[in-house]
Chains A and B, each alone.
Chain A
Amino acid sequence: MKTAGTFVRSILYQTVRILMFVQILLGALWIAGNFSTFQSFPETEELRQIADTLVTDEYVGILYPCVVKFAEGVSRFCPVPYYCLIYFMQLGLCFWTLWKLTGKNPGKIWLVLWLMTLPPAAQFNLAVLPQSPAVFMLLLCFYDSRYGKWIKAAVCWLLGGLLLPEFFLFGGGIYFAGLIFKMIRRRIPKRMVFQGIIAAVLVCLLTGITDSAAVEVHSRGRMARTPAAMALHRCVWPYFSVNRSFWAEEAKEAVSEESLIEISRDPGKVSREFGLVMEKTYGVKQSQSIYWKMAKDSFRIGTKKVVGDFTMDLLGYALSPFVIVWNLRGYGITFSGWNYSMMQHHTPNLTKYYVYYAGNILPLVLLLALALYLWNGDKRGFAANAQRMGLTCLGVLSAVVALWYSLSASGMQDYKNAILITIFWGLLVTAFMEEKKSSFNEQK
């Protein structure tokens, strides 16, 4: 009986591997077919403009435009387009990070390749956008914080924050959580604690210096990034014109009714046409109180709608890799169609089969892996506390990321902001697939 059970388990395990290999194959073909092509995201053009002036705002980090500029410079001396150099760097960073997170085990390289070929990861590794490298910097910061390598963790935190400003907060959260945890459990000597604190101070200092040198509010035509602005975007859009009668006189005077109708049709215009006009008219400080009032009024008038939209966004982010294919079937209100149109532009048929296969197979793979884990009498593979703790922390971080982006804006749910969450679900599968050794906890 036991032998039969083991035999069936081994069949299931092999089945999951086959399912993963098919995804790896499709993903590899997609990467190969699109490596020399360019996804025309409008944000990429903005990054190139920032690279020329080296002035940015609170929404875009300064590091990635510098990387773009550097790649463009290098490509002048070699026959490779600059974006291919960037893709190569991003793929390398992705592989290195996942290799570390899965224990640097050559026997698990197929798991690393599977994680790399999850469609959101593959797509944005081959896009000239900062989301992918920022996520992998954050994961490296997480990894190094867990093992008390504060200098490395601080460097990754700094780089992540310079790639995407909100990652300064996420990275800081991980860093200090790791430091405090180790201090409480007295797992590190005092000098290491001081090293960690000094490294953190240096990161904050360097980030502050970079921000003061490169960040200029309104420089990219967007409103200041504040909690009030986030509340405005979350609660008020798309009801700008509908609820106009409730707005403060300042808001009514600054923006015409026709403009409000246009803003209601386009969430991107909240920042550029409403917020910017308000702040240039009344100043950033005074505008904040107006935004808060508008957000509160909108929430009061349309509580059900606002909460409903927020919940949909939150679920969409939290379950991002699972819901993409549903979005593409016409369910949900997301940017998935837009991202997919970019992804499929050069290889439409291959992309269709790749994305739908990977999206449909993921819940199956997760369930099978979970079933194997629960059935596996030998729980050493997952029982290691450090591995469980690590995944729990990553889960909490993913929840924080989902919450952040859900609170940031209405009508802009975008799976490129959920790459970390996608990787988390993938790591969960790989953890369930662990057999005997806990390689997540091994430091090699």
Chain B
Amino acid sequence: MQKHIVVIGAGPAGLESSANLSNLGFRVTLVEKEEVTGGHLNKWHALFPSLASGKHTIEAIVKGLNPGIKIQTATKVTGIEAVNDYFTVSGHNGWQEKADAVVLTTGFQLFDSHRKEEYGYGIYENVITSADLEKQFASGKEFVNRQGKKPERVGFVHCVGSRDEKVNNLHCSKVCCITAVKQAIEVKQMIPEADVFCFYMDLRMFGRHYEELYKQAQEKYNIQFIRGRLSESTEDKDGNIIVKVEDTLLGKPLRIKVGLLVLMAGMEFPPATKALTNMLGLKNVSDGFIQPLDEVLHSNLTEIPGVFIAGTCSGPKSVSDTMADARSAALAVAEYLK
């Protein structure tokens, strides 16, 4: 009998592993809580380092899906139960399936920047997040701040909700450094006369071509990188944001007025998914993400045979890393069901 696999979450990881599993000859059901597939990528205008369109990337992945894959959208998974040698997966709307294996591709949630109140998100109009900025890019409208003015200065704050014990997140979200570099360049391309600042702790340019992009940002676009964590921001009467930051290389406190402040919100494990992992009895680790059976040898396996993980549910990843992880998960499932 054809083995059946339920893949939970139809972001890039879910889509790619479903495509691979289906091609390997398995029956696949892909469950998604939203109306549409694609996850965070739907809202992302351009991907680093090549500035590939998020929309086109998703379209390309979806194109690879075998028509045999059953896609169950608008269904929130509310229960997973291991029964003998199979799993029963059920949704909030009464949907239920038996599966020989389950792949968790539940992804991340964006850090809620309201939690860094001192940065003023949700309080000052011209403080936005990196995700808000992507939406603005995607809208194709002229680049202006909330007062309809072209900002003369734009600031990017790295590590918002990442590497910050004050919000209980010790982990690095990996993608924000390069995203900030990418977004800073995009802003510069739109308003060449603007001064753009990046406030960082360390710059983690670990991926291929990242360092080149960073170099370009400095040399070609004259983006200023200031090492120092923002302490707070205030708003002046014209809606400008005044940021207080220490330049730790110069050892001096700075106050810089910007027309727009972009917070590079990090990745967190979604509490809603925690309910699922608890149901399965998967261990919680301090950073919240799902722990693989072995980080080197079995990165797609969990402690529970038949339950697999791929993508950002097991830690922050770039889209390209997520895609590779999804393919490797498909092979791990195939080996298990052999």
Q: Is this pair of chains taken from one and the same complex?
A: no
| Interface of B toward A, CB cutoff 8 Å | none
